[in-house]
Amino acid sequence: MRVLLLIAGRSQRFWPLSEKTLFPVCGTNLLEVTTGRLKETGLDDITLIGGSHNLEDVHRQYPEFPTVEQRDLELGMRGALLDALPSCGNESVMIVCVNDVIDPAGYKSLIEATSDSNTSGAILAQKVERYLPGGYLKLEGDQILEVIEKPGEGNEPSDLVNIVAHIHKDASILLETLRVTPSGTDDGYEQALTKLFKDFVYKAVPYESVWNAV
């Protein structure tokens, strides 16, 4: 399985510093932590999707990872995947955001959840006890019907909040869905997910360990 690790975000929450992916903390950095945890799970085929603002530094420090440059950062995750998925054919892909730091067990549980031949994908989701301003999963059993962004306290469809650690078992189906999704907004990936949930079985994978959204 190929991992597409998203690192193109321009770190607006990290202002006045411009780039948090490689920012040194206690002898390591966010990219090194996330790739290390992926490798602990046996996920060694990792492609980094970055931007012109950080790929030069990434190449210099981590030449072992292949990279793809996201051409239009305004398109968010949709833009990153439109640039990265064409090289994936119909293989399985795991999409991970470098900002979502989780235990290796989370990646393992995702892989296990998609071992069923009837399942087309899976999304890792934090089980929460209080309201968080994130994307909540609307479910029927463990099958995902919709991701509802920031529904407001008291309107949550479940207690599961989306973590950007997703598996799609056929990258070509995701790519085609992204291509026909209306452009011009930064929520194109979320719109594509809504379409996929209507036609395919995607499972919610509850995660109750530590999640740091950096």
**Distance set, CA 13 to CA 16, 51, 81 (Å):** 9, 17, 23
Q: Which residues of 174-207 are buried (b: 16+ CB within 10 A; e: fewer)?
A: bbebbeebeeeeebbbbebbeebbeebbbbbbbb
Cross-strand partners of 121:
168, 202
Q: How many residues does the chain have?
A: 214
Whole-number pLDDT of residue 16? 53
Task: Kindly report which listed range (8-17, 78-87, 90-99) carries the lowest average pLDDT score.
Answer: 8-17
pLDDT grade, residue 19 (50/70/90)? low
H helix runs in 26-170, sequence order: 30-40, 55-61, 76-84, 104-113
Q: Which domains does the chain have, with CATH numbers?
A: 2-213 (3.90.550.10)
Whole-number pLDDT of residue 212? 81
Whole-number pLDDT of residue 214? 63
Number of Cβ within 10 Å of residue 52's Cβ equals 11
Which are the contacts of 76, defined by CB distance < 8 A and separation ≥ 6? Answer: 186, 187, 188, 189
**Is the pLDDT at 138 greater than 80, yes or no?**
yes
* pLDDT tens by residue, 140-193: 999 999 999 999 999 999 999 999 999 999 999 999 999 999 876 678 999 999
Cross-strand partners of 47:
4
CA distance 115 to 112: 5
Is residue 160 within 8 Å of residue 122, measured between CB atoms?
Answer: no
* pLDDT tens by residue, 106-135: 999 999 999 999 999 999 999 999 999 999
pLDDT grade, residue 12 (50/70/90)? low
Whole-number pLDDT of residue 50? 96
**Is the pLDDT at 75 greater than 80, yes or no?**
yes
Average the pLDDT over 4-26 and give the result. Answer: 70
Phi, psi of 91 (to 5 degrees): -75, 165
**Is the pLDDT at 79 greater than 60, yes or no?**
yes
